[in-house]
Amino acid sequence: MTQKSLHSHVKSYVFACTNSSQEECFKRLLFGSNKVYGSAAMRVEEGDFLFLWNLDSDLLYGVFRAARDAQFNMIPEAWEGKYPYQVKVEPVGKIIPLKDAKRLLNSLNVERSSPISENKTLAILELYRPSLLPINQWFEHLAQKETTKGLEILSEPKSWSLLAHIKKAEEAVEQMPRLQPTTLWDFPRQSYGSSSKGNNKYAGVTPAELIWNLVWRYTEPGDLVVDPMCGSGTTLDVCKEEGRRAMCYDISPPPYRKDIVKNDARKIPLPDNHVDMVFIDSPYGDNIRYNEDPNCIGKISSETEEFYDELEKVIKEAHRILKPGKVLGWLIGDQWVKKKFTPVGFLLYARLTKYFDTVDIICIARRNQSSNTGIWANRARRFNFYLRGFKYLFVMKKPIPNEKRAEEPREISWTYYRREKIKKS
Ligand SMILES: C[S@@+](CC[C@H](N)C(=O)[O-])C[C@H]1O[C@@H](n2cnc3c(N)ncnc32)[C@H](O)[C@@H]1O
């Protein structure tokens, strides 16, 4: 028997704890994570291998197996609700703490935000082999999926450095997106992961990571997301993978997407106060020919008032169907054509603020534009105009009735930080 005796597609995950949360992990046989690593945590399936990294002691406890698929808020009171993306675990034999966990994970290029690939999982599992057991028997034992009743932890942490055959460069099973910490988002690719999201050949397709970021910031597993102008269905695909329900419409759904409902975004067939997030990447004017439907708003020039009047009808509908306090994300870009600039973003934003409070405004780097060629760059320099380099993502909140609005002036006591002096080299 070899390592192959483990079932195919072996994968594992690292969960983290601190000195104060470790005891609860062991007592409940439950690992949990917050939103930052929630997407990876929710991908854990029954039988996956798991390791617990104590960030204070820098010990990596293993081997555990997931007793069942991950679940959101399985035990709501665990860790006082701080880590709701949870997995029930079972120990495989005696639990061994490995020293220098950070160095080990760094040298394997393992991140907590993504599943760990088969080869890296096997390399880590090898480190937990009982010293007298031949390697083949160890993997055979792991393949039997036997777990241990009750938790027994080796008191003396084990070193690993001389034992490992570490394969450094290999990619994770699926490199997961990360939550963007700033208001400048730049996604080099339209999609991520092993399956496509939307269709990158669709004119005006949205970067999937943008939707992923909104989904993870503003919704929880099981929430309902609506995209009333969903084109090739990027929102639908992201939501399905992240365990959110989604209702997606378009005035002219692509024939290959039977899961997109034909509908005009100015009248959405859903009740009031019903949904947890709305995402819209609308036409920016009449610069793209999406389809032949006469009701396509992409046939109206953004240089006309009519364009904003029609989009305002969509805004009203988004406002009507959203639950109070929930978020609408709207992506749009400005226009410069035939020597005329139109601030499409500002004009739309003015309409949005009639109904919504602003959460934030995010700048999305424009990639893969048809004008992204040397010829156009040269024209822009020569004839003194600019190619569009960014879009706006307006993140808007439906106000909660009687909630104090942000418009009122406030006293802020700022903390002023001094810049550290630059040391002369
Ligand atoms: C920028 S595209 C959306 C791209 C989409 N997010 C994706 O990733 O494929 C804008 C979409 O708005 C749709 N649209 C235009 N007018 C509409 C209307 N009145 N009702 C619903 N959809 C409309 C178009 O058919 C087009 O698919």
- Residue range 217-231, pLDDT digits in tens: 999 999 999 999 999
Name the E strands within 57-151. Answer: 59-66, 71-72, 85-98
Q: Which of 197, 202, 282, 391 has most ligand 1 atoms within 8 Å of its beta carbon, as the pocket-test mutant?
A: 282
Judge if the beta carbon of residue 26 lies within 6 A of ligand 1: no
φ and ψ of 241, to 5 deg: -70, -30
The answer on pLDDT for 105 being more than 70 is yes
Measured between alpha carbons, how far is residue 174 from residues 9, 115, 116, 178 in Å?
12, 6, 8, 12
Query: Mean pLDDT across the stretch 93-118?
Result: 91
Residue 406 has pLDDT above 70, yes or no: no
Residues 157 and 61 sit within 8 Å (Cβ to Cβ): no
pLDDT of residue 421: 64
Exposed/middle/buried for 303, CB within 10 Å: 0-12, 13-18, 19+? middle
What average pLDDT does this structure show over 13-39?
A: 97
**Residue 48: which of 149, 117, 106, 148 has the closest Cα?**
117
Q: From the alpha carbon of 232, which atom of ligand 1 is closest?
A: 9
CA nearest to 282, candidates 313, 255, 254: 313
User: What pLDDT, in 10s, does the model give residues 288-344?
Assistant: 999 999 999 999 999 999 999 999 999 999 999 999 999 999 999 999 999 999 999
Q: Which of 313, 230, 222 is nearest to 275 (CA)?
A: 222
219 Cα to the center of ligand 1, angstroms: 22
SS3 67: coil
Backbone angles phi, psi at 98, to 5 degrees: -95, 135
Q: Mean of the pLDDT values across residues 345-349?
A: 98
d(CA 334, CA 331): 11
Longest dimension (CA), the chain: 79
The DSSP secondary structure of 256-313, one letter per residue, reads: T-TTSEE--TTS-SS-TT-EEEEEEE---SSSS---S-TT-GGGS-TTSHHHHHHHHH
- Cβ of 251 less than 6 Å from ligand 1: yes
CA distance 345 to 327: 18
User: Could you give the CA distance from residue 273 to residue 400 in angstroms, rounded to a whole number?
Assistant: 11
CA of 196 to the centre of ligand 1 (A): 19
Considering the segment(s) 184-397 as one domain, its CATH architecture is: 3-Layer(aba) Sandwich (3.40)
2 pLDDT band, cuts 50/70/90, is very low
What's the alpha-carbon Rg for the chain, to the nearest Å?
A: 26
Q: What is the pLDDT of residue 403?
A: 84
pLDDT, mean of residues 11-36: 97
Nearest alpha carbon to residue 330 among 305, 295, 355, 306: 355
What was the pLDDT predicted at 333? Answer: 97
- What is residue 1's predicted lDDT score, i.e. its pLDDT? 32
The string of pLDDT tens digits covering residues 228-276 is 999 999 999 999 999 999 999 999 999 999 999 999 999 999 999 999 9
**From CA 125, how far away is CA 166, in angstroms rounded?**
11
Rounded Cα gap, residues 179 and 210, in angstroms? 9
Q: Could you tell me the pLDDT band of residue 5, with boundaries at 50, 70 and 90?
A: low
**Does the pLDDT at position 172 exceed 50?**
no
Rounded average pLDDT over 43-57: 97
- CATH value of 3-143 in 3.40.50.620, 3.40.50.2000, 3.10.590.10, 3.40.50.720: 3.10.590.10
Closest CA to 343 of 298, 296, 381, 392: 392
Mean pLDDT of the chain: 91
Closest CA to 4 of 166, 207, 142: 142
Percent of the chain with pLDDT over 70: 93
pLDDT greater at residue 391 or residue 142:
391
- What ranges do the domains of the chain cover? 3-143, 184-397
* Ligand 1 nearest atom to the CA of residue 264, by list position: 20
- Interval 4-26 mean pLDDT: 85
Taking each helix axis from N to C end, the angle separating 234-241 and 208-218, rounded to the nearest 10 degrees, works out to: 50
Instruction: Find the 63 Cα to ligand 1 centroid distance in Å.
Output: 48
**424 pLDDT band (50/70/90 cuts)?**
low
pTM of the entire structure? Answer: 0.90
Q: How confident is the model at residue 147 (pLDDT cuts 50, 70, 90)?
A: confident
Taking 80 as the threshold, does the pLDDT of residue 425 lie above it?
no
The CA 44 to ligand 1 mean position distance, Å, reads 34
The model's confidence at residue 145, banded by pLDDT at 50, 70 and 90, is confident
232 lines ligand 1 (CB under 6 A): yes
Q: Is 250 in the pocket of ligand 1 (CB under 6 A)?
A: yes
Residue 178, token pair as written in the block: 């990360």
Kindly state the average pLDDT of the residues 5-20.
Answer: 83
